[in-house]
Amino acid sequence: MNSGFSKILKKGIAAHALGIVLILLAFLFFIGLLVFYWLGVQNVQTTKSTCFAKLISFCTDWWKKDFKEIPYSWSEKSPENCEQEGINIKQPMNSDDCKALLRVS
């Protein structure tokens, strides 16, 4: 009789341990989502490098649309104020500027 009771007890402990592990994993997943969201909301510092990355991203997205329609408004994406003195990176006004930058035809 003791052997049957010990089997049930072992299964009960395993089920509880599994439940605790699943709750812990779910908690860690939601904490990860919160951190990811928090990082995405933060503004990007305006530097020449970040503005150049913005320009490359804009041109790449425009190229994916075959330069037929502008993918999004330049001001929608961070960093802001890339046009300021010292950085002087602006939204490309025509597809030739992006083609030259991406080296595509």
pLDDT tens track for 23-58: 999 999 999 888 877 766 566 788 999 999 999 999
DSSP string of the chain, one letter each residue: -HHHHHHHHHHHHHHHHHHHHHHHHHHHHHHHHHHHHHHHHSPPP--HHHHHHHHHHHHHHHHHTTTSS--S-GGGSSSP-TTSTTT-----SSHHHHHHHHT--
Which has more pLDDT, 95 or 14?
95
Mean pLDDT of 76-88: 89
